[in-house]
């Protein structure tokens, strides 16, 4: 469910016309719906009703401060994967005890940063990281609460670049080595074992891989408790998929995901932590772009828009599909035509869709990319010296720019010339 619908022939974000936003901030831009963010968080919270649980939003999906503040006000904690994300979470008003720190390459500097600032737990990914954290925590006179991320060798049946739970992936400690790793963790100074962490991938559209992974986690919990470890938290990760193609069958609902959690680990008396990102933010955002040209090619036509692969890299990186719709509602019965929808970047990879059936469009028309709220703005770059595009948050009939488009002068000022080049 989202809050982007046609009203009086124009696509709106809640009660704000996208044409109004475009006239104010220019194109391209991202726009997010507060009501959708809040609704998606609430759906996850309701799915875990009856369990002692906490939802940690995976802010790598969308790290805008206004988005973080919106979710924090709903009771969300944050799952961070870098010192920069930790700093943004704190800047958004999230206390350290509501933050978990994940990621395979945590540096010594990041460990110092978050131990000094406060953290709920580290989701530790390897034995070398565990030993480094012990050294840092001991040097600071602190105790770091940890889970160990285990790799259950479960095929998440998702894109290879976002699968994280198979034995060949870089993430976590193999399940067969887990008891040995926990034994070492319990022996190290500055370390407190509190639970188990698992995350098998992103954009999952089948619940069976979750059931397999969580069943293995339940078995490991019993084994570790028998070994004398106080396992009282289970961080089950995130990854539930969203419907990028509205014509396709919808992925499982959060309530169904919650039921799998209850059936597999609900009997253990652990606090359940989950880390959804995409499902909360994905359908809460659109990318809006303007048509620059309609180009007639050899055997195909190209719709050239002012958004590019640097603004939304998912199609180029993952061969990802986004539904693309006109902002002005097409008349009933209008015959669509196949178009290649492309951006202005000087690469053939700057292609959003090939032979996509679209209603008649011309220069100056606006189009909207649905399901662009996750892994859109956060993965953007200034490739081809194209400024990062604005992000806009809507709440009811109000909208505000929550990240401005930099000017060319601001972009250029970040570079400095060495002394020998100064005139």
Q: Which residues are catalytic?
A: 346
Angle at 193 between CA 278 and CA 98, to 5 degrees: 40
d(CA 44, CA 47): 5
Cβ burial, residue 342 (10 Å; 0-12/13-18/19+):
buried
Within 10 A of 226 (CB to CB), how many other CB atoms are there? 9
3-class SS of residue 162: helix
d(CA 319, CA 352): 9
Residue 50 CB partners (closer than 8 Å, separation 6+): 262
Beta bridge partners of 305: 291
d(CA 99, CA 110): 14
Residue 237, phi-psi category: left (phi > 0), alpha (psi -120 to 50), beta (remainder) = left
Beta bridge partners of 24: none
CA end-to-end distance (rounded Å), the chain: 58
d(CA 153, CA 198): 11
Beta bridge partners of 192: 145
Within 10 A of 181 (CB to CB), how many other CB atoms are there? 17
- DSSP code per residue over 289-352: EEEEEEEE-SSSEEEEES--TTT--HHHHH-----EEESBPPPTTPPPEEEEEE-SSSSTT-EE
Residue 228, phi-psi category: left (phi > 0), alpha (psi -120 to 50), beta (remainder) = left
Angle at 238 between CA 12 and CA 352, to 5 degrees: 45
């Amino acid at each position: 469910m989202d809050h982007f619908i046609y009203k009086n022939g124009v696509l709106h974000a809640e009660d704000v016309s996208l044409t109004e936003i475009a006239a104010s901030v220019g194109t391209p831009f991202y726009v997010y719906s507060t009501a959708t963010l809040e609704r998606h968080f609430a759906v996850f919270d309701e799915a875990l009703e009856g369990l002692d649980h906490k939802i940690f939003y995976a802010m790598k999906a969308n790290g805008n401060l206004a988005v973080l503040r919106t979710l924090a006000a709903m009771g969300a904690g944050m799952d961070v994967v870098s010192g920069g994300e930790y700093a943004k979470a704190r800047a958004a008003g999230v206390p350290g005890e509501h933050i978990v720190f994940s990621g395979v390459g945590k540096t010594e500097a990041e460990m110092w940063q978050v131990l000094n600032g406060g953290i709920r737990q580290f989701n530790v990914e390897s034995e070398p990281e565990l030993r480094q954290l012990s050294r840092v925590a001991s040097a600071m006179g602190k105790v770091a609460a940890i889970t160990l991320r285990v790799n259950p060798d479960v095929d998440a049946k998702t894109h290879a670049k976002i699968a994280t739970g198979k034995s060949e992936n870089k993430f976590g400690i193999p399940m067969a080595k887990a008891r040995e790793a926990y034994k070492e963790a319990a022996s190290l100074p500055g370390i407190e074992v509190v639970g188990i962490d698992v995350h098998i991938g992103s954009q999952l559209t089948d619940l069976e891989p979750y059931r397999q992974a969580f069943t293995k986690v339940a078995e490991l919990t019993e084994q570790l408790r028998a070994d004398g470890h106080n396992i009282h938290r289970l961080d089950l990760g995130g990854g539930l998929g969203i419907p990028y193609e509205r014509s396709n069958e919808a992925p499982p609902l959060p309530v169904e995901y919650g039921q799998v959690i209850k059936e597999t680990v609900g009997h253990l008396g652990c606090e359940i932590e989950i880390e959804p990102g995409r499902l909360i933010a994905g359908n809460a955002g659109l990318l809006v772009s303007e048509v620059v040209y309609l180009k007639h090619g050899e055997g195909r036509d190209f719709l050239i828009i002012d958004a590019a692969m640097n603004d939304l890299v998912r199609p180029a990186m993952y061969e990802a599909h986004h539904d693309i719709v006109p902002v002005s509602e097409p008349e009933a019965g209008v015959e669509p035509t196949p178009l290649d929808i492309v951006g202005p970047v000087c690469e053939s990879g700057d292609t959003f869709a090939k032979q996509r059936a679209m209603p008649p469009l011309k220069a100056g028309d606006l189009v909207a990319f649905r399901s662009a709220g996750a892994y859109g703005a956060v993965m953007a770059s200034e490739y081809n010296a194209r400024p990062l595009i604005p992000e806009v948050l809507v709440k009811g009939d109000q909208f505000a720019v929550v990240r401005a488009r930099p000017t060319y002068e601001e972009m250029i000022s970040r570079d400095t010339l060495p002394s020998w080049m100064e005139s």
